[in-house]
């Protein structure tokens, strides 16, 4: 019997890659996306055109906050007790959340609630959802571990992601819905988002325009290649959480529960200085960047760094693609997609 998976955000960066991996493996994939104009919709539709080459791909253009439309889609596709959900759709971007908070409340919180509610009604066997490394805020302890407290977000985006983790825990408690949250760390690679650093830096260097580097260069990120993100998702997909027998209510572990609930980091476990990242990009482009040092932006964190011990223990995998490997792969795609000489 062909397995089916519902993937939200299929026109987005991570969702596209997850869909392509599942389709290539023979899964029947249903996806939904609102294809909003947060960034170039042509890139989103081009991703969808790639996915439409598979006969076992089904796409619905839907707003997550539109409950009736979601209900119709669940009914039309017959989403039921044998179909897992990988919820990757969200309004992304830390800085954008300062200007457009409604998009984050509706897309991230209301949308996730709607999906949880519909999924529990059909007895979904495993509901996975995207959280974010941003929930760690400015935690001083590094690397960031899933056992760490994340009660101090510094952006609305982070707050909405933390909220989805809490909603998921309630659904595990109230309805026994097996839920897994995934905290992604600075994902990059082919078909990436134009609002993210690698895209911005590449365009600026090729154009000879200044490259904005915030916090006067004192920034570090755990850059994680897209294939490693997908591998983690796919491996966890077939391991729905069960109650943690070691859970201690006197010393509660934020990453697990006495319920079918788990949280995992998916990151490269290697924090890279932003200026070092740019240096590798310069090397592969054969051009120097014009660095524009600026103060840190509201909502930005100074450093991200993932502890992936929980992921390794659960599925025997940890991301390992270096920026020396990942950046050239991105540039090869960028050259072909945008028809530019590098």
pLDDT digit string (tens) for 190-244? 999 999 999 999 999 999 999 999 898 899 999 999 999 999 999 999 999 999 9
Instruction: With a cut of 70, say whether residue 104 has pLDDT above it.
Output: yes
pLDDT reported for residue 1: 66
How far apart, in whole angstroms, are the C-alpha atoms of residue 206 and residue 29? 37
How far apart, in whole angstroms, are the C-alpha atoms of residue 279 and residue 286? 10
Binning pLDDT at 50, 70 and 90, where does residue 299 land?
confident
How far apart, in whole angstroms, are the C-alpha atoms of residue 244 and residue 253? 10
| Averaged confidence pLDDT in the chain | 95
- For residue 216, count CB atoms less than 10 angstroms from its CB and return exposed for 0-12, middle for 13-18, buried for 19 or more: exposed
Residue 337 lies in a domain: no
Residue 220 lies in a domain: no
Residue 141 lies in a domain: yes
Report pLDDT digits (tens) over 313-342. 999 999 999 999 999 999 999 999 999 987
What range does the domain containing 113 cover? 4-189+225-267+305-320
Q: Name the domain count of the chain.
A: 1
Contact criterion met (CB below 8 Å) for 121 and 184: no
DSSP string, 292-324: EE-PPPTT--SB--B--HHHHHHHS------HH
How far apart, in whole angstroms, are the C-alpha atoms of residue 54 and residue 20? 9
Report pLDDT digits (tens) over 34-69. 999 999 999 999 999 999 999 999 999 999 999 999
Residue 312 lies in a domain: yes
pLDDT reported for residue 341: 82
Binning pLDDT at 50, 70 and 90, where does residue 26 land?
very high
- The b-or-e profile of 110-135 (16+ CB within 10 A means b, else e) is bbbbbbbbbbbebebbbbbbbbbbbb
Which is nearest to 144 in space by CA: 134, 155, 154, 152?
134
Residue 330 lies in a domain: no
Residue 207 lies in a domain: no
Residue 314 maps to which CATH number?
3.40.50.720
Residue 53 lies in a domain: yes
Instruction: With a cut of 70, say whether residue 148 has pLDDT above it.
Output: yes
Report pLDDT digits (tens) over 156-188. 999 999 999 999 999 999 999 999 999 999 999
pTM: 0.96
Annotated catalytic residue: which of 74, 157, 188, 305?
Answer: 157
User: Is there a catalytic annotation at residue 39?
Assistant: no
Residue 289 lies in a domain: no
Mean pLDDT (whole number) for 125-130: 98
């Amino acid at each position: 019997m062909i397995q089916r998976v519902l993937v939200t955000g299929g026109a987005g960066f991570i969702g596209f890659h997850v869909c392509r991996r599942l389709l290539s493996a023979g899964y029947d994939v249903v996806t939904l996306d609102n294809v909003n104009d947060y960034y170039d919709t042509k890139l989103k539709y081009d991703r969808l055109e790639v996915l439409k080459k598979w006969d076992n791909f089904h796409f619905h253009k839907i707003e997550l906050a539109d409950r009736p439309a979601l209900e119709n889609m669940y009914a039309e596709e017959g989403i039921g007790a044998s179909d897992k959900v990988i919820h990757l759709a969200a309004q992304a971007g830390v800085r954008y959340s300062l200007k457009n908070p409604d998009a984050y409340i509706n897309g991230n919180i209301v949308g996730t609630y709607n999906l949880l509610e519909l999924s529990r009604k059909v007895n979904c066997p495993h509901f996975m959802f995207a959280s974010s490394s941003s929930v760690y805020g400015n935690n001083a302890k590094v690397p960031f571990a899933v056992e760490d407290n994340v009660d101090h977000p510094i952006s609305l985006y982070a707050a909405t992601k933390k909220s989805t983790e809490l909603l998921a825990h309630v659904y595990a408690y109230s309805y026994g819905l097996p839920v897994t949250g995934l905290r992604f760390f600075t994902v990059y690679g082919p078909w990436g988002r134009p609002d993210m650093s690698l895209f911005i830096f590449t365009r600026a260097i090729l154009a000879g325009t200044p490259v904005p580097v915030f916090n006067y260069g004192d920034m570090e990120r755990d850059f994680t290649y897209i294939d490693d993100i997908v591998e983690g998702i796919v491996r966890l997909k077939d391991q729905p959480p069960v109650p943690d027998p070691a859970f201690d209510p006197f010393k509660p572990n934020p990453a697990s529960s006495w319920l079918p609930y788990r949280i995992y980091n998916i990151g490269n476990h290697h924090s890279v200085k932003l200026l070092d990242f740019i240096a590798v990009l310069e090397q592969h482009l054969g051009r120097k960047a014009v660095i524009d040092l600026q103060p840190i932006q509201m909502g930005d964190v100074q450093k991200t760094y993932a502890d992936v011990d929980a992921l390794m223990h659960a599925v025997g995998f940890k991301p390992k693609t270096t920026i020396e490997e990942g950046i050239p792969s991105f540039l090869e795609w960028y050259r072909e997609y945008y028809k530019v000489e590098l």
